[in-house]
Amino acid sequence: MSFEEAELLRRRAHSFPRLAERPVEEGEYDLAMFSLEQYCQLILEYRILVVEGSYPRTRSLRRLIRELGEHDPRMLELVSDIGKLYYIARLEEACIVSRYLPITYEEGEVREILRFVEEAFKPLVEGSQPPRGA
């Protein structure tokens, strides 16, 4: 792992929540969902890269969460709590849906996912550090 690669992932990840806010206000809900998914994916990859020196090349948020959970079991709350897993699954599907399927998102669901990312996902993933010795 290079410091530059890790820093690039972190910087890119942090730009996506800001990018999601404008499309929500402009009614571009598909783009907002895609941006939220990209934030989640990149920040997880960043955290894994810092801990392991590399990260799996996958688009699966669940897999990335479980990988990070091997070092910080608190992360597993995102896939073990059925309410949180619902949001993770919706974000995961947004990566494919926003690119390839003729499905659109509604304002309410995007705002709810944005709230989840800001209030539950982000504080857990960015706010915690793996326990010492993990």
Q: 91-130 pLDDT, tens per residue?
A: 999 988 877 777 889 999 999 999 999 999 999 999 855 4
Evaluate whether residue 13 is within a structural domain: yes
Q: What is the tally of structural domains in the chain?
A: 1
Quick: pLDDT tens for 14-65.
Answer: 888 887 888 888 999 988 999 999 999 999 999 999 999 999 988 899 999 9
Evaluate whether residue 98 is within a structural domain: yes
Evaluate whether residue 12 is within a structural domain: yes
Distance CA 111, CA 72 (A): 28
Evaluate whether residue 134 is within a structural domain: no
CATH code at position 21: 1.20.120.330
The CA distances from residue 28 to 12, 37, 101, in Å, are 20, 15, 16
